[in-house]
Amino acid sequence: MRPFLAIVFLILISCKTETNLGVDYSKLTTIPTKEQVGHLVLPDTIAPVEAPFDMPLFEKPTFPDRTINIKERISQNSNDITAIVETAITELSSLGGGKVIIPKGVWNTGRISLKSNVNLHIEEGAVIQFSTHVKDYQPAVFTRVESMEVMSLAACIYANNQENIAITGKGKLVGPYGGEIKERSYHTPIETLVDLTKPAEARIHDGSKEDWIFPPKFISPVNCKKVYIEGISLENTAFWNIVPVYCDNVIIRGVSVNSVGIPRGDGIDIESSKNVLIEYCTLSTGDDAFTMKSGRGEDGLNVNRATENVVVRHCLALKGHGGITCGSETAGVIRNLYVHDCVFDGTGVGIRFKTRRPRGGGGENLYYNRIRMNLEATCIKWDMLGTRAYVGELADRLPIRDVNALTPFYRNIHISNIIIENGTHFLKIYGIPESPLTNLTIDNVDANCSNLIIINDAKNVSIKNTNIKTPDSVVDILGGDTISFDNLVLDIKQSALTTPNETIETKGIHFSDSDL
């Protein structure tokens, strides 16, 4: 068997005091605090987007001056507004568009389908409670579940092939995580439930013939252009919260999400969509907070639609598995992502990357700048192997597999100007031996962590201009190629030194101008 690097450094600390070593603190002064980001400080206007790649001009949508307030159409004996809202949306869309207003009060509804040129406006003080009955989300519609195409229960608010649609206002939407929806939600890997030999339109899973369901997402426009979501608050979703799928020109701003305690309660998932702006949102979730996805395995490769040109700025992640996550569904490739001026406070992992050997695709040209993190777990993490529960023996690092269409990659990642107030490991990379993480730069980070660095299967990694305060003294590298530490200061309370106890095949581990 081919030998790999298995090297552990226990660092000896010198007593250098040069002031030119480590972080350039002048570049960290503009990093926001939690009070300066999130939905509570949403500005009225959309500022121009600056990114390391070309982005369109984002503007608020306009709608014709027609209004239907559903209060005028509601019977005094009922607060079920499903049919009334659907009729109002259809009526306005057929006339060229307008605004449907849901006024202050508590309202019950099933699925709502948005149509072109309609703004669904939920007034402050309005609470919309979505049904927990499966029948209220039937018949099946085209959607994706965990990045696989199916015909299944619609999202609570759904749209397909529509243009210029909006959900606005300061009202609250309460999802259907309870009753029949919760009791019948699936619990096994989706690959065991969906027959990928059938075309997507024949993969019908609407709860009518099975004792389980794919629970509805909260808000999910599919194949739509010009999608605008602003100001609303969401809680108690049964599945992922806001999920644009195959959409172009999406703006999500000033949204608040609470799905803590819900196992699949992702906050915002961008699915194979492009030209997306997410700003001033606050997410507290039962799974990942801000997430990029682009299809899963063979199904995602066949669709082959990327998530690209996405900017996330001035956002706050509270509880959640990951503050900002790419994957683990990566088949169509995630590219051109810029996350800046955000705060992750109380989140598990900060900057998170996932994929699996059979997922395909990958991520490239991903940028992270001016982020403050106070975390419960790892600060920056790649998990490219997963667990046997989902991918069997492919989760095992060895043996090396042949590279094929389903072998994913991550490359060209740039992380700079970061404050880490608390975290466990500063960096964990669990790559794939035959497809190592490639071209990672971490620059100008001031970190307080309980542990240092684990790097498995990575190539061309540069950590520079960085201070790490930690009680740990171990840098653990396995299967690395060209790993460099430049202008790195480690403030370690203990000191020791050991030598590797295995054959080293890795080449190019460099320390320069560092205080070690």
Ordered mean pLDDT values, 10 residues apiece, the chain (516 residues): 45 44 94 98 98 97 98 83 97 98 96 98 98 97 98 97 98 98 95 94 96 98 98 98 98 98 97 98 98 97 98 98 98 98 98 97 98 98 94 95 97 98 98 98 98 97 96 92 92 55 53 65
Q: Which pair of structure tokens corresponds to residue 426?
A: 């500063």
Which residues 6+ apart lie within 8 Å of 147 measured at CB? Answer: 271, 272, 293, 294, 295, 296, 299, 300, 329, 331
CA distances 484 to 420, 442, 459, 512, Å, are 21, 10, 10, 8
Confidence at residue 425, expressed as pLDDT on a 0 to 100 scale: 98
Cβ(278)–Cβ(51) under 8 Å? Answer: no
Cβ(381)–Cβ(408) under 8 Å? Answer: no
- The strand pairing partners of 235, in sequence order, are 174, 258
Q: Which residue has the tokens 């590797």?
A: 500
Confidence at residue 502, expressed as pLDDT on a 0 to 100 scale: 42
Cis peptide, bond prior to residue 176, ω within 30 of zero: no
Q: For residue 52, which of 456, 479, 441 has the smallest C-alpha distance? A: 441
Confidence at residue 516, expressed as pLDDT on a 0 to 100 scale: 55
Cβ(294)–Cβ(271) under 8 Å? Answer: yes
- The strand pairing partners of 126, in sequence order, are 105
Amino acid letter, residue 117:
N
CA distances 106 to 78, 103, 170, 241, Å, are 11, 9, 14, 20
Contacts of residues 484-487 at CB distance under 8 Å and 24 or more positions apart, as own/partner, are: 484/508, 484/509, 484/510, 484/511, 484/512, 485/510, 485/511, 485/512, 485/514, 485/516, 486/462, 486/510, 486/511, 486/512, 486/513, 486/514, 487/21, 487/22, 487/512, 487/513, 487/514
Confidence at residue 91, expressed as pLDDT on a 0 to 100 scale: 98
CA dihedral 84, 86, 88, 91 (to 10 degrees): -140
Q: Which H or E run includes 489?
A: strand 474-492
Q: What is the pTM of this model?
A: 0.94
C-alpha 355: how far from chain center: 13
Cβ(128)–Cβ(102) under 8 Å? Answer: yes
Q: Which H or E run includes 83?
A: helix 82-95
- The strand pairing partners of 236, in sequence order, are none
Confidence at residue 498, expressed as pLDDT on a 0 to 100 scale: 42
C-alpha dihedral sign at 388, 394, 400, 406: negative
CA dihedral 414, 420, 422, 428 (to 10 degrees): 20
Q: Where are the domains of the chain?
A: 53-224+231-242
Cβ(106)–Cβ(79) under 8 Å? Answer: yes
Can you tell me whether residue 46 is helix, strand or coil?
A: coil
Residue 483: CB atoms within 10 A of its CB come to 25
- SS3 per-residue string spanning 101-144: EECCEEEEECCEECCCCEEEEECCCEEEEECCCHHHHCCCEEEE
Confidence at residue 170, expressed as pLDDT on a 0 to 100 scale: 98
Confidence at residue 77, expressed as pLDDT on a 0 to 100 scale: 72
Confidence at residue 142, expressed as pLDDT on a 0 to 100 scale: 98
Cβ(378)–Cβ(350) under 8 Å? Answer: yes
Q: Which pair of structure tokens corresponds to residue 56?
A: 């369109």
CATH of domain 53-224+231-242: 2.160.20.10
